Amino acid sequence: MDVDELPPGAPGEVTGEPSDGTVDEGAARRYRAQVWGGAARSLWRPSAEGTVGGRLRALADWAEGAGLADAALDVYGDGLVEVLEERIAAELGMPAAVFFPTGTMAQQVALRCWAARTGNPVVALHPLAHPEVHEDGALVALSGLRTVHPTAAPRLPSAEEVRDHPEPFGTLMLELPLRDAGFVLPTWEELTATVGAAREREAAVHFDGARLWECPTHFGRPLAEIAGLADSVYVSFYKSLDGMSGAALAGPEELVAEARVWLHRYGGQVFQQYPAALAALRGLDTELPRLPAYVAHARVVAEALREALAGKDGPGWFRVHPEVPHTHQFQVWLPYPPDVLTAAALAQTERTGTCLFRRWFAPGPGGPPGVAVTEVTVASSGLEWTAEDVRTAVRDFLALVEG
């Protein structure tokens, strides 16, 4: 990160800037969190923002109202963890579910279990899928699996691409939505056809459903019907549901029983996990019912962003992707260096109390030079924003960028 990312006048003791002119990334991250976390208005407030005391008090207050304050503490996966597992199985219409401390571990276990059942260690998935981009090659290093890519296009594979892939594979993994391509989803007809093509090849189907919770609006189908297309589904608790941490793997009882063995082998059978389980239950009760409203308002925000960026003071080139968001998250692309845009986002919050954008990033390997991308999320705090609020915030942001 460049020093220029920090706003003018930010004190060195806050930024962590040492004498050689470089920046302590940890201190810079805390500084950004302090600025954006203190915004009077924001489209989204991540669960990692706030304070320990505030977070624990909110969780305790909810537990009291939900009648769970006097529940027994869990030990190695019983108690509240079992309650959560039963709730997940019911929400997804699956026979059983098992709680994992991380989604990476949950998917590692799911894919190795399917490899053993199918007798084929090859996993077909997108090159932008989470195991390929964000897990440091764990599928190969830990499980001895191998991956193939039916398509490299910035979307999920089609039925034809799955059916015609020249190499046998034992499992097809579909990330719903495909986050690094812009939180994109296929149509319901495309998804069912792709799953059907995998069935024709006698492959197991696993959904990376970290953000599956927000998919029903796009598909026009309930969660259980979407999940029911797959043999197994992984879901996250801290992304869409504002939880603390953790994930779950849902599927047939035999698969879940085997997954519990691997959970132990991977070191994931944690002694006590009641705070994470409680936060997940809270998210299921409070955030899950509101996600359709977030998705609907994300479309309002995206349209207002596009109108403002296309105006006379706009940058000339921009991209809001997808044009109509499939979920409550989408991408914005602008023709400036990422450090310039991040600095402008920080300055806007400091000067106006409004947090429109957060961090900006350069494109991935092979991406076009001179542009940057950010992810926009619309959640509960964003419902207060009108289209005019968004347009005004964009104009203020662009003035800071040009200045």
In whole angstroms, what is the distance from residue 44 CA to residue 171 CA?
35
Query: Is 371 in contact with 334 (CB distance < 8 Å)?
Result: yes
Nearest to 168 by CA among 152, 151, 150: 150
Tell me what pLDDT residue 6 has. Answer: 30
Q: What is the DSSP string of 15-30?
A: HT--TTS---HHHHHH
Query: pLDDT for 166-196, tens place per residue?
Result: 999 999 999 999 999 999 999 999 999 999 9
Q: Which amino acid is at 273?
A: Q
Say which residue the tokens 């460049």 belong to: 2
Tell me what pLDDT residue 257 has. Answer: 97
Give first-to-last CA distance, the chain, whole Å: 20
Query: pLDDT for 32-42, tens place per residue?
Result: 888 888 899 99
Alpha helices in 287-386 (DSSP H): 291-309, 338-352
pLDDT greater than 80 at residue 287: yes
Q: Who wins on pLDDT, 22 or 299? A: 299
Query: Is 345 in contact with 357 (CB distance < 8 Å)?
Result: yes
Query: Is 294 in contact with 328 (CB distance < 8 Å)?
Result: yes
CA atoms within 13 A on the CB side of 179: 19
Nearest to 212 by CA among 199, 223, 201, 228: 223
pTM, to two decimals = 0.90
Query: Is 195 in contact with 232 (CB distance < 8 Å)?
Result: no
Nearest to 159 by CA among 132, 122, 130, 196: 196
Q: CA 364 → CA 6, 133, 135, 345, distances in Å? A: 23, 10, 16, 21
Query: Tokens for 349?
Result: 């919050």
Tell me what pLDDT residue 15 has. Answer: 32
Nearest to 216 by CA among 124, 91, 106, 331: 91
What's the pLDDT band for 10 if we cut at 50, 70, 90?
very low
Burial class (CB in 10 A: 0-12, 13-18, 19+), 350: middle
Percent above pLDDT 90 for the chain: 80
What's the pLDDT band for 14 if we cut at 50, 70, 90?
very low
- Vertex 31 angle, CA 26 and 34, to 5°: 125
Query: pLDDT for 232-252, tens place per residue?
Result: 999 999 999 999 999 999 999
In whole angstroms, what is the distance from residue 88 CA to residue 69 CA?
21
Between 65-79, 97-111, 147-161, the lowest mean confidence (pLDDT) is in: 65-79
Q: Walk across the sheet containing 319-321 and list its strands.
A: 319-321, 329-334, 372-377
Collapse the DSSP code of 318 into the 3-class scheme (helix H, G, I; strand E, B; otherwise coil) and give the result. Answer: coil
